[in-house]
């Protein structure tokens, strides 16, 4: 039974890597997207060292298009063979493409892009018009996905990219979040449960996070320091979650960092703690980073892709950057 279906177990089944067949099967429903992929002016090998993680820059590109539908990308899925990507936009579009790497495995381009409209009405409900401000994305099966939407806060499962979505039951603490402070981060944990982190809440110094379990939804507090806000998450290792946080204000400007999140069970209760893993800073080009995909390869090479949301603004950019992740000494 899929995530969010009639049994409403709220547990995501085992993930299966999507492959080229998924995109080829879209046929004529997918529209080619004219996309220019410009390498960033930074040499491969730049290194960022943090308290627990080091990032080695492995290439990056700025993405532009003459198609006005392109932009506002949030959430990111990269196939296990590192050949395909899928993202969602603030205006309700799926965007897919194929990654190109050089002979050393460094990212050099995103090619053969497609764009297609997300279905706006759930199955058996054509009576409402829903906001399609998609902010987070995670796989729930071989070709199915869970998407978090803002404005009208909710999680929907898409059994296929062109299938009507299936609503997932939401606690009022999610539906009542401030309009522009909804779920920004989704991650499937090793036990199949889904962790959702908002960039808002009811307390000044804490955001809300939610763990979806078979017996219900467990609420947590996620720390907030008045600047950095969680924008995506990925399962890391040893029960840890890697959380991407971005920050912006007129005085400091734009910044980003990676945090390590741990969920710890004590008796019947579960607590959450975070520690700084590494800060993203010069010489890495910075922008509004909102999407992240982490892949641990069989060779033990850990690869991280990070995507920025340009908010459909001419003053911001859509950047896709690749890092090799290492443990700091």
Average pLDDT over residues 258-272: 81
Paired tokens of 114: 């497609």
Q: Please state the pTM of the whole predicted model.
A: 0.89
CA distance 280 to 149: 26
Q: Which two tokens stand for residue 13?
A: 């089944």
According to the model, what pLDDT value does residue 205 have?
A: 72
What is the DSSP secondary-structure string of 56-93? Answer: EEEEEEEEE-S-TT---EEEEEE-TTS-EEEEEETTSE
Q: Check whether the bond before 283 is cis (ω within 30° of 0).
A: yes
Instruction: Sketch the domain layout of the chain as residue ranges.
Output: 20-327
Asked if residue 270 lies in contact with residue 215, where contact means CB atoms within 8 angstroms, the answer is no
Nearest by Cα to 123 from 168, 167, 153: 167
Q: What is the DSSP string of 232-249?
A: EEEE-STTEEEEEEEEEE
* CATH number of the 20-327 domain: 2.120.10
CA quadruple 170, 129, 230, 38: dihedral, nearest 10: 150
- Could you tell me what percent of the chain has a pLDDT over 90? 64
Count CB neighbours of 235 within 10 A. 17
Give the helix ranges, DSSP H, for the chain: 20-24, 172-175
- Is the predicted pLDDT of residue 26 greater than 80, yes or no? no
Q: Residue 180's pLDDT band (boundaries 50, 70, 90)?
A: confident
Q: What stretch of H or E contains 127?
A: none
- 1-24 residue pLDDT tens: 222 222 333 333 323 334 433 443
Q: Which pLDDT tens digit goes with each residue over 187-225?
A: 999 888 899 999 987 666 789 999 998 888 988 889 888
In this model, does residue 243 exceed pLDDT 90? yes
């Amino acid at each position: 039974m899929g995530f969010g279906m009639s049994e409403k177990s709220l547990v995501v089944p085992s993930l299966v890597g999507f492959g080229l067949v998924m995109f080829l099967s879209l046929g004529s429903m997918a529209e080619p997207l004219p996309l220019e992929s410009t390498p960033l002016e930074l040499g491969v090998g730049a290194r960022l060292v943090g308290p627990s993680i080091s990032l080695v820059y492995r290439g990056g590109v700025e993405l532009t298009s003459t198609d006005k539908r392109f932009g506002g990308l949030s959430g990111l899925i990269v196939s296990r063979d590192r050949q395909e990507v899928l993202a969602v936009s603030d205006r309700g579009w799926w965007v897919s493409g194929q990654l190109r790497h050089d002979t050393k495995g460094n990212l050099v381009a995103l090619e053969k892009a497609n764009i297609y409209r997300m279905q706006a009405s759930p199955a058996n409900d054509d009576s409402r018009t829903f906001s399609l401000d998609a902010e987070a994305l995670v796989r729930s099966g071989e070709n199915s996905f869970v998407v978090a939407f803002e404005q009208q806060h909710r999680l929907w499962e898409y059994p296929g990219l062109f299938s009507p979505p299936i609503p997932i039951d939401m606690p009022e603490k999610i539906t009542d979040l401030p309009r522009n402070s909804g779920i920004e981060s989704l991650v499937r944990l090793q036990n199949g449960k889904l962790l959702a982190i908002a960039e808002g809440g009811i307390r000044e110094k804490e955001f809300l996070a939610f763990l979806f379990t078979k017996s219900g939804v467990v609420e947590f507090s996620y720390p907030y320091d008045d600047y950095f806000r969680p924008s995506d998450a990925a399962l890391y290792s040893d029960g840890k979650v890697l959380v991407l946080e971005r920050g912006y204000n007129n005085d400091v400007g734009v910044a980003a960092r990676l945090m390590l999140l741990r969920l710890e069970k004590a008796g019947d209760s579960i607590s959450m703690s975070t520690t700084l893993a590494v800060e993203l800073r010069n010489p890495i080009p910075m922008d509004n980073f909102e999407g992240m995909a982490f892949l641990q390869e069989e060779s033990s090479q850990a690869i991280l892709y990070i995507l920025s949301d340009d908010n459909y603004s001419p003053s911001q950019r859509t950047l896709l950057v690749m890092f090799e992740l290492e443990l700091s000494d």
